[in-house]
């Protein structure tokens, strides 16, 4: 196995960080590609000390981008989660945070021509039934910062905004067909608006809902209940045996306390998110808007318009969302969010050699 250098861009996308590659710069064979990515990121190792991963699922991510063969899209984006301490690379979910970096990356690599001020990039999401999202990208120039930069919760510094519009999710919003189910002894709502998520109240789990991620991760009994729920939900949601995958996520919901509409703590699924995933947030918002759902019971009654403000451990996340019920099964007609993204490094990455 060669340990040649590979062209790679490191980017912060939203509240996550990942390695971005052109598909042509990676092996076409899936097993070879995954083996290479484990060596690039430094997995399996809790610290990923011999690679460029950051030792946390939110900083152990890969985006693979190519020109799209679909005339309705500019580029294809495949997301890969590289597990930190296990030799597993999974395509079982997408990532809306890294999605925020795909437009700027496509422009930098010449796959999309930059327009004045804002460039619209149509991105076909290759994981699951992702559809084609549209990224409105503030066109990169020589500038480092400008007055229009924005700050998102979970990132202490401002950067150019990338707004993301998502198409209606193609699968059913309620994969079990019910607004609530009883799984592993808990009343929950199973929802999938692009990310499979299980909503459960903090009350049902006997916690307050405002604990820090470290407190939640340190509670072994809670972790056990969450994992039992996740395994039961995986099968109820038609995802099969999810023991080795990263979905569904478990979002613990409670009444908002900082001016938002609903508060969350999300297991993704073994670590607790320091904020919340993008498509995960859209699923939480959609689930909470479904009449009779577990999330609906905690959604503040003061909410107006199409915005759902989701509180999380480092601030809040606004989701613009329209849910259609039309008497039949509910579906998300459209959703949109604002993120920022930034190129951190562009160059050649050197994976450890394949010889153990």
Q: Which residues bind ligand NQM (CB under 6 A)?
A: 15-16, 57-58, 95-97, 195, 246, 249, 268, 273, 277-280
Q: What CA–CA distance (Å, rounded) separates 53 from 185?
A: 37
The CA–CA distances, whole Å, from 63 to 48, 78, 199 equal 18, 6, 28
Residue 1 structure tokens: 């196995």
By beta-carbon proximity to ligand NQM, the closer residue of 180 and 283 is: 283
Nearest distance from C-beta of residue 240 to ligand NQM, angstroms: 19
By beta-carbon proximity to ligand NQM, the closer residue of 91 and 203 is: 91
Nearest distance from C-beta of residue 170 to ligand NQM, angstroms: 16
Strand, coil or helix: 113:
coil
By beta-carbon proximity to ligand NQM, the closer residue of 209 and 248 is: 248
Residue with tokens 């020109």: 67
Nearest distance from C-beta of residue 266 to ligand NQM, angstroms: 7
Return the residue nearest ligand NQM (CB atom).
277
By beta-carbon proximity to ligand NQM, the closer residue of 171 and 292 is: 171
Nearest distance from C-beta of residue 106 to ligand NQM, angstroms: 18
Q: What CA–CA distance (Å, rounded) separates 40 from 349?
A: 7
Nearest distance from C-beta of residue 355 to ligand NQM, angstroms: 31
Taking each helix axis from N to C end, the angle separating 96-108 and 278-289, rounded to the nearest 10 degrees, works out to: 140
What 8-state DSSP symbol labels residue 159?
B
By beta-carbon proximity to ligand NQM, the closer residue of 246 and 340 is: 246
The CA–CA distances, whole Å, from 345 to 23, 221, 303 equal 18, 41, 41
């Amino acid at each position: 196995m060669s340990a040649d250098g590979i062209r790679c861009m490191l980017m912060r996308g939203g509240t996550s960080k990942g390695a971005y590659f052109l598909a042509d710069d990676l092996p076409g064979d899936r097993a070879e590609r995954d083996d290479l990515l484990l060596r690039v990121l430094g997995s399996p190792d809790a610290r990923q000390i011999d690679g460029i991963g950051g030792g946390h699922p939110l900083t152990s991510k890969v985006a693979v981008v190519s020109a799209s063969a679909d005339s309705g899209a500019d580029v294809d984006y495949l997301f890969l989660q590289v597990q930190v301490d296990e030799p597993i690379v999974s395509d079982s979910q997408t990532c809306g945070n890294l999605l925020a970096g795909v437009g700027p990356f496509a422009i930098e690599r010449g796959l999309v021509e930059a327009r004045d001020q804002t460039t619209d990039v149509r991105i076909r999401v290759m994981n699951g039934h992702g559809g084609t999202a549209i990224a409105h990208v503030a066109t990169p120039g020589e500038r480092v910062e400008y007055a229009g930069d924005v700050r998102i919760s979970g990132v202490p510094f401002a950067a150019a905004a990338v707004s993301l519009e998502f198409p209606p999710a193609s699968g059913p919003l309620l994969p079990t067909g019910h607004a609530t189910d009883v799984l592993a002894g808990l009343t929950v709502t199973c929802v999938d608006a692009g990310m499979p998520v299980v909503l459960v109240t903090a009350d049902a789990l006997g916690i307050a809902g405002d604990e820090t991620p470290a407190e939640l991760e340190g509670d072994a009994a809670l972790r056990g209940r969450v994992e039992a729920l996740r395994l039961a939900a995986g099968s109820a949601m038609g995802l099969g045996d999810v023991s080795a995958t990263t979905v569904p996520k478990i979002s613990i919901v409670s009444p908002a306390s900082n001016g938002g509409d609903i508060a969350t703590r999300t297991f993704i699924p073994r670590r607790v998110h320091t904020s919340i995933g993008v498509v995960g947030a859209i699923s939480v918002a959609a689930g909470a808007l479904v009449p009779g759902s577990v999330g609906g019971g905690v959604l503040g009654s003061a909410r107006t318009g199409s915005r759902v403000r989701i509180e999380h451990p480092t601030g809040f996340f606004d989701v613009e969302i329209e849910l259609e019920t039309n008497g039949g099964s509910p579906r998300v007609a459209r959703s949109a969010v604002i993120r920022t993204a930034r190129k951190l490094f562009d160059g050649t990455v050197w994976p450890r050699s394949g010889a153990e």
